[in-house]
Amino acid sequence: MLRALAISALFATPLTAQEFFTLKGHGGPIMDIAVSPSGQIASASFDNSVGLWEGQTPTWLEGHRAAVTTLNYHDESELLSGGDDFQVLLWHPEMETPLQVSEHQGKVSAIAVSSDQRFIASAGWDGFINLTTMVQFLQTIDSPPVEFATRVLKGHRSNVTDVAFSPNDTLYSASSDGTLRVWEETGDNELTSRVLVKHGFGINQIIVVDNWIAYGAVDGGTRIVDPETGAQIADFTLDRRPILAMAYHEPSHQLAVGDGQGYIMVIDMAALEITHDFRAARNGPIWALAFSPDGQNIHAGGIEDIVYSWPVDTLDKHEPMSGITRSFLEDPDTLPNGERQFKRKCSICHTLTQGSARKAGPSLYGLYGRRAGTVPDYTYSETLNGSEIVWSPETINDLFDQGPDHYIPGTKMPMQRIAQQSDRDDLIDYLRVATAKQEN
């Protein structure tokens, strides 16, 4: 209950905007940021966690079994999260564990909430939209369990990348199939989709307001279109790709756009002109954007483990993210093959030193001869609790030959294989030395 009370307090405690600050504590890249109406910042990370921030102090919400990819506040006190574990979870400040809202058959890429809070829409890489109704709303910890009813909407021919409700609660969706769709009710109370825009390249992000829709695409397309006809209103496409994040602050008419080359572009939607074009990251993309409630700060995240927040008015006068080069982005030609395999396949999730450091996976220190599922500072999936696997050259070879999802069904490890035997042998030799316990 103490943890629940701490979470309850955090949901009501915003950070001060109008000045530059950073939030440090995650063990992996920042995948999304959400801000409550009062200014409470929540961050989602590749480290499988959600951070709720009170000043510089985070409280960690642990419930996902893989990277947390998307966040949205259901209301001031309830947070929604989606992840690579295919789940949409609801966090209530008086509950120690989250409630599962719905489940996809692929990673969850976006969550939207209708203005009346009746509907939760989630986009999945399974090509579907889950449209969920809360049948029983949770008010206190003593309330009856929440009941959810979910409809699966089918229409896109590839991954659904984003969903959004208009102010009148019309549902829109985007997909890597290159279309932006609007969902309309038929006479039998069903929803069918109509293609509003056919871009040609995958559309990653959408923002929907009363009289326009902004979308960002894989080819760098950043366009404003009419929400009824799809006719183009404006084109802010620059020579940068892909567009990976968007945020809008309605009172100040500011639209922020983040791309794969680390820039944040801010557009004044009242004047339809670019007001800032800021190099926010020296290395890597911008994956997450959110405005403070007063619109004076823009919060951003990317390949670093840090949330950055800049005052918008002086955005161009600030330094970008520190420019740490992640190990998996190092030039592969400068590394021995075993180290190259580790840095490309393992380093984003695992440390080689003592302590798991809030990474998505446990520390590999002392790996050889260790039984799987036994690092004390890491929470494993149930499938590894009590596992009989002991890490050795043979078991590590089998892990990457078959892939974690086949070798250890139910594991949180990402689905990946190392196809070449020589590459597996080099990784095994590298880990033998790099993970060895040091003699004092």
Interval 189-231: pLDDT, tens? 789 999 999 999 999 999 999 999 999 999 999 999 999 999 9
192 plus 290 within the same structural domain? yes
The answer to whether residue 183 sits within a structural domain is: yes
Phi/psi for 339 (5° steps) reads: -65, -35
86 plus 162 within the same structural domain? yes
pTM of the complete model? 0.85
Give the domain range for residue 83: 2-317
Instruction: Output the pLDDT for position 440.
Output: 52
202 plus 311 within the same structural domain? yes
**Strands lying side by side in the sheet with 306-311:** 21-24, 306-311, 297-302, 286-291
Question: Is residue 344 within 8 Å of residue 373, measured between CB atoms?
Answer: no
239, amino acid identity: D
Instruction: Decide which of 317, 346, 367 is a domain's last residue.
Output: 317
348 plus 410 within the same structural domain? yes
Question: Is residue 62 within 8 Å of residue 48, measured between CB atoms?
Answer: yes
Closest CA to 114 of 153, 180, 151, 167: 167
Per DSSP, what are the bridge partners of residue 173?
A: 163, 181
Mean pLDDT of the chain: 89
Residue 141: CB atoms within 10 Å: 13
Question: Is residue 43 within 8 Å of residue 25, measured between CB atoms?
Answer: no
92 plus 241 within the same structural domain? yes
251 plus 293 within the same structural domain? yes
Question: Is residue 363 within 8 Å of residue 355, measured between CB atoms?
Answer: yes
123 plus 247 within the same structural domain? yes
pLDDT, tens only, 47-79: 999 999 998 999 999 999 889 999 999 988 899
pLDDT, tens only, 246-296: 999 999 999 999 999 999 999 999 999 999 999 999 989 999 999 999 999
**Strands lying side by side in the sheet with 254-259:** 243-249, 254-259, 263-268, 273-279
What is the domain-level CATH number for residue 177? 2.130.10.10
Instruction: Decide which of 295, 317, 339 is a domain's last residue.
Output: 317
Instruction: Decide which of 293, 317, 341 is a domain's last residue.
Output: 317
Please tell me the distance from the alpha carbon of residue 109 to that of residue 351, in angstroms, as a whole number: 27
Q: Is the pLDDT of residue 2 over 50?
A: no
pLDDT, tens only, 393-419: 999 999 999 988 888 887 777 778 899
The answer to whether residue 112 sits within a structural domain is: yes
346 plus 285 within the same structural domain? no
Q: Is the pLDDT of residue 14 over 90?
A: no
298 plus 430 within the same structural domain? no
The total number of structural domains that make up the chain: 2
248 plus 350 within the same structural domain? no
